[in-house]
Amino acid sequence: MENKFPVKKVMDDEGNFVDNSYEKAINTELVWKLYYHMHRIRSFDRKAINLQRQGRIGTYAPFEGQEASQVGSALVFEEDDWIFPTYRDHGATLTFGADMVETLLYWNGRVEGSLPSKSKNIFPPAVPIASQIPHAVGASWGEKRKGNSNIAIAYFGDGATSEGDFHEGLNFASVFQTPTIFFNQNNGYAISVPIEKQMNSKTIAQKALGYDIPSKRVDGNDCFSVYFETKKAVDRARKGKGPSLIEAVTWRKGAHTTADDPSKYRPENQGKNIIDPITRLERFMKNYGYWQEEKVSAMQKDIITELETAVKEMEAYKHSSVEDLFDHVYSELPAHLTEQKVNYFEHIRGV
């Protein structure tokens, strides 16, 4: 089955073309846009890990190593499209236009960071595995019924493909031919479970066959391959030709979350030979005359300034209220919780 779903590449690990048919489609604007966003979200990711270690935000889910998959896909979408992320896809949402301060507030456990984006069609991050997939199908079906050309993308990991929501979502999308992109980032592990222990399929792409949905496997560390294959799927969806599934084969360098220790379940040298997606793009830029040292330096300074400003704004928010624990769970607070709330505030007032 792997032979039927080869991993699509545009450039190799050294940043050289392996498919020259894309040479004319790659220009200075696209190269620098990909590089900027990949660098920006990695800087965010590393900053967030540092903030968590300092106790300034809560448990955090890193994504370093998956920048090409998230940026390469998110850059394809238009203003009024929909993104349905997992808890690890804030790189994609930031690329699409999510507010950085709101993203930090989410990881700080704030209500303000858990609301739908004010400026974009970005669903709040889904922590339950695969629950966002039927939501994405529903949103895209709604757009189709309205006669709009807007589409939706659902991001998910390899473990999500073993959940019922994945299969229900694909089945519904297939039956109603919804303009949905199912975007899988296959980093080889569902938390601590290696992919070969949570599914017997040789690929994730082949799972779309049962629903008559076209699917592709791409090198998830090749930003060009991700970008152009996603663009094909998006163009197809906008033309009313239905959903697609993309399996981006990638590698997450770090832990599942900052509360995790991957050394307990991943062999020490696993992934050591995988070329970093940003390094790979840098090699391409140097090989084909796109690299500009001064421009890179200025870009890095701008990103650092943006990050530091966002952190200051996040930390300047007034302290959250304990009332949030009571007020945002039920439409009508049950009597026993009402009593707890009253007792708590009487206690802190010393009544």
Q: Report, as residue numbers or ranges, the catalytic residues.
A: 252, 256, 265
Residue 340 and residue 351: Cα distance in Å, rounded? 14
177 and 55 Cβ atoms separated by less than 8 Å = no
Residue 75 CB: number of other CB atoms within 10 A?
19
CA-nearest of 213, 218, 212, 184 to 199 is 184
Residue 183 and residue 155: Cα distance in Å, rounded? 5
E strand residue ranges, the chain: 7-8, 82-84, 121-122, 152-157, 180-186, 189-190, 193-194, 215-219, 244-249
The token pair at 75 is: 């850059």
Residue 84 and residue 46: Cα distance in Å, rounded? 23
Task: Please report, as a single letter, which amino acid is at residue 228.
Answer: F
Which residues neighbour 312 within 8 Å (Cβ) at sequence distance 6 or greater?
Answer: none
Cα angle 96, 100, 103 (rounded to 5 degrees) comes to 95
271: helix, coil or strand? coil
291 and 285 Cβ atoms separated by less than 8 Å = yes
Residue labelled with tokens 């799972």: 207
Residue labelled with tokens 């998006």: 234
Residue 326 and residue 307: Cα distance in Å, rounded? 32
Residue 126 and residue 242: Cα distance in Å, rounded? 24
Strands 193-194, 189-190: pairing kind: antiparallel
93 and 302 Cβ atoms separated by less than 8 Å = no
